[in-house]
Structure 1
């Protein structure tokens, strides 16, 4: 696309001017739990500042112990912590950026026994019931916000963001179902919004006019009894009057039954909710959620929906996002594919965040930079994610790389993944790899199967095998019957299954095949289809912006899923996305059977046993998704010649087409050679 101009325009926020309209949104990383945490955080944020992002919003820090996300979570309430934060702010400022500290009180989402809330009532996503704050404790909490804000300014932050969205403490005050108080902070709408307004006023009074004061408002709650759009607009006006310089928009609560940032959500889907805020106030407003490309950001600004765009995970994927946008190098942006595998799924399972497409994210100090002193000639075999990632990173280090791929096109099984509804962003991943390989002038030998002879006599210093996987064929009668087909043949279009289909294997591939077979409308590309399917009123006329979901269209096929394990199907899917896929399959009446033993496939269909009882399911096809085996024939041939090839990706470990592990492993090997 052409170089965007709206998102490159400077903007005044209070007494500060930022160079462009692109902001790194706040996100949890859990980097503080690793070794050398402050060095890691400084390197992490400084890399984004060097990448020319207009403003950085830090991860959330609680103003008091009861508000932390989890035991040992980020807390900033003591002058003893100033030097730790100065390490971060000085690194960002040295790199030419600006950074704001987010103050986040988790409320009843805090995974600590001391968690608090406006009223009694345990959150569905927490095991700890909260203590209901007394009126005196509410005022003490307001003072705690102001105290942390003052510390942030003293530590060198350019301002603070007050987190009032996503179902955390402040949001719990504004929603009637979680605020059943009978004091001055509950009851009427005016009373329910008093707490956040008092926080804004206290913070502004404490830090003065110079630092930025950002407020993150819930533009649409997506929970029963949440605010209406009219209430959000009125609230935004009062936030401005209380002293905010900028309003950032959040979407949904963490316990909402509507996806908000997964790949199934269309880009910039929440624009109407953001526009509602923008039209209500005179200070700048920031859009967020599923804005992952310069053209999407440009459209939001050009349409007057918002003044800035907040991009959190896209800055994990590519710290140079803003610089590339300025230089017109948009094809070279490593796009966030909203898979959530390495970021949200890790955070929700108490691990540290990184990025599937960029393993350096949050690990900057672990990766050497610059070129090697003694470059090598390296052959890499396999043009899937592992092979391409290795070739790119090794070439960037100064090595001469030749990539062999037996197919006429790059991508490997990414070419199958992109065919699944909701995974259209995989096209962007492939685009980035192809553009980068071309830019680096990596020697590509497409349509050429690497032979042991060619590798052994090619003068290569290193041979890296990313030869991938092949489907595992289960061992029972009839797997060679015409009704039995591989997931490869189905997703590639080689085989078109009939109207009744059984799927053997309920891992990630099995679920992807099920969604592919159902032929669902591509909700991720059509906002209106998405809103209808999930029961969303984007204008929030109703409380929380929820309406009755439309009845799903009749599925294209009848699908039956089976697995050997005697546990709920989909139990091992991604923490933040698996529930979405399972909900869609339930709506399509997909039958799911656990604890199955497969007996045979024949003209009658699939014969199987559950709890000792034999069954026969009449189907047109049985799709085999029973795992994979590593392709190591070439490896064995090279070892037999006395060579020492290196294995990466599926060729090393054949597990569920794990692109996250494959790309990380390939990147680390490339920089280590």
Structure 2
């Protein structure tokens, strides 16, 4: 019997059957915009071969004004149909099903031609939209319907009509963005007229044997959003209009509540979907922070939904479903919801990929192929760079030995996993442990390696990581000064008043660690909801608690400092930096930029400001934590080069900046693919 009977059960849609209950949700990867349709096809086919029941493409625009930005992929011409046919044919050859998401961005479009129900600029957009007149609304409906017809002509099994996350159709639903007084505004019956009309006319155009998924915002998390009763009313109307499935949308993009970052509890919003179960007669999909088969199974067994949507987990491991079917769940590369290579890339105009799996979206370029000349490879360092090299090299058939002076694998990941809100890193290290065991990698821990110890290997990879940078502050050797390493591994005693020197990623992690006491709210959904001000939309419109966020009192008084005069946290991830800043602000962490560290004594930390070293100030603190950056640990690489032995230097040993695991893992994987 399967470990996941609910997740792996088929779903009968009447005219077609899905092989299991897993949807690969839509993601903006940027692949369609490359115009390399073979690359797009291989991305989806790779997942189809691994038994995902149904996939949804990235958002495809129905017209120029509705596209997310200039140059974004659209489905408006016969040439578009021809290109997409390559994708659908490849997916069908792989035994999969695929739907095309029709995404009209409305006021979220990065274009001066964007349109919306009312001329209200989004706080996350550059341009104020043009208010549509009646003829303009009719054009948008016709263009969306025509887009669906072309999707069917291209061989898609269905379409997903994007009606959530604050995009165009969602904008008509709520008074937050719809100030109209005609038949498309005012009463809720008028405001929901547009999505209903779009679904009804789409069904008329595509016929009965075609999947129509409607992505419905079930909790808006913005002021003046929908109530639960309105959500139910819309869902029933969408079903009547001809939708096959309703998918869950959570929060608008402008909402100031995190919904998919790693600090959000797993399955944090499945309860929202469950509230709709039994109130419509078509299948319902739930989404957001579902990243293991166990979580998916529990959601389905608990009656929260009929299907689960997992988008980024399919970047982390395209074989998610097939490994679950084969009883190999421990070998599923985990989505840690870091956003660093997926959403951050998307919003920076780059091709998306995955920190855990650099092959995601690069399937045609980064190929892992068996070698016909196995080598003996030594890798010094069992952090993410070294372990990714080891796994990839072993997959190719090389004989790999990993050395590390520590007592366990994982490197700096073992520090990260101690931080409240980064519990996913425990599973990341567990996965590395499972993979080196599965692939027969020899791991030698508690081992200090010299250059002479590596003579017998064909290839040597140095992944020795970093050492803390010495900030050279007078008095830093006193008993009230500790390293971030000792703080995170629990070896340092930290007082109630703390100064954190350095406001990069580690400075933020250490500060987060220090202000928490007891269980992390990431592991306690009711407490997390209270902390961020989330409540039941049946009780309060839009799911926003009227009292607002209610964080716990901070465990310590923390002041975070940096030498740079720029905004503290400016270098953090584009889609997660605001979360870290907001979280620490709620915990009353002071953030000070543009400081000089004059000296440390028993009274605390003495600082001044600016080049002129003005305004000398004493921070009366009990403990000073040094997070002043890192330097590459190249000592072994230098010793090898001194004796004329070539080696490959990767990860932090190569570049120490901000402990970039994304770069380190990508570097190690690509190196191993080339050896």
Cα drift, residue 549 of structure 1: 2.9
| Of 540, 543, 546, the match for 1:542 | 540
State the match for 1:384 in structure 2. Answer: 383
Whether 1:324 and 2:326 are equivalent positions in the alignment is: no
- C-alpha deviations, 1:100-127, integer Å up to 9, x for none? 0000000000001100000111000001
Alignment of 1:165-204 (within 5 A): 165-204=164-203
State the match for 1:251 in structure 2. Answer: 250
Alignment of 1:488-637 (within 5 A): 488-519=485-516, 521-547=519-545, 548-611=547-610, 612-637=614-639
CA distance in 2, matches of 1:449, 1:366: 36
Cα drift, residue 368 of structure 1: 2.1
Whether 1:127 and 2:129 are equivalent positions in the alignment is: no
- C-alpha deviations, 1:562-590, integer Å up to 9, x for none? 10010110111111111111111111111
CA contact (8 A) 2:406 2:447 kept: yes
Alignment of 1:336-415 (within 5 A): 336-415=335-414
- C-alpha deviations, 1:56-81, integer Å up to 9, x for none? 01111011100111110121111121
Unaligned segments of structure 1, at least 5 residues: none
- C-alpha deviations, 1:119-176, integer Å up to 9, x for none? 1110000010000011111111111111000000000000111000000000000111
| Of 638, 641, 651, the match for 2:653 | 651
CA contact (8 A) 1:466 1:651 kept: yes
Unaligned segments of structure 2, at least 5 residues: none
- C-alpha deviations, 1:383-440, integer Å up to 9, x for none? 0000110000001011111111111110111000000010000011111110000000
Secondary structure of the 2:499 match is: strand
Bigger mean CA offset, 270-279 vs 438-447 = 270-279
Alignment of 1:144-155 (within 5 A): 144-155=143-154
Q: 1:390 to 1:336 in 2, by over 3 A?
A: same
CA contact (8 A) 2:203 2:242 kept: yes
State the match for 1:99 in structure 2. Answer: 98
| Of 479, 483, 503, the match for 1:482 | 479
Cα drift, residue 32 of structure 1: 3.0
State the match for 2:666 in structure 1. Answer: 664
CA distance in 2, matches of 1:491, 1:369: 36
State the match for 1:7 in structure 2. Answer: 7
CA contact (8 A) 1:31 1:40 kept: yes
The two structures, once aligned, show a CA RMSD in angstroms of 1.2
CA distance in 2, matches of 1:443, 1:369: 20
Cα drift, residue 551 of structure 1: 3.3
CA contact (8 A) 1:473 1:479 kept: no
CA distance in 2, matches of 1:541, 1:18: 35
CA contact (8 A) 2:537 2:544 kept: no
CA distance in 1, matches of 2:398, 2:271: 49
Question: How many residues are matched?
Answer: 670
CA distance in 2, matches of 1:373, 1:83: 39
CA contact (8 A) 1:229 1:273 kept: no
CA distance in 2, matches of 1:591, 1:189: 44
CA contact (8 A) 2:33 2:73 kept: no
Secondary structure of the 1:345 match is: helix
Whether 1:639 and 2:645 are equivalent positions in the alignment is: no
- C-alpha deviations, 1:481-535, integer Å up to 9, x for none? 2222111111011102101110111000000000000015512111101110111
Secondary structure of the 1:555 match is: coil
Bigger mean CA offset, 568-577 vs 121-130 = 568-577
CA distance in 2, matches of 1:554, 1:159: 49
State the match for 2:451 in structure 1. Answer: 452
Whether 1:470 and 2:472 are equivalent positions in the alignment is: no
State the match for 1:214 in structure 2. Answer: 213
- C-alpha deviations, 1:328-378, integer Å up to 9, x for none? 111111110001110111111221110000000001011223301111111
Bigger mean CA offset, 306-315 vs 5-14 = 5-14
Cα drift, residue 14 of structure 1: 4.3
Q: 1:576 to 1:540 in 2, by over 3 A?
A: farther
Cα drift, residue 546 of structure 1: 0.6
Cα drift, residue 270 of structure 1: 0.7
CA distance in 1, matches of 2:459, 2:538: 59
CA contact (8 A) 2:334 2:431 kept: yes
Q: TM-score, normalised by structure 1?
A: 0.98
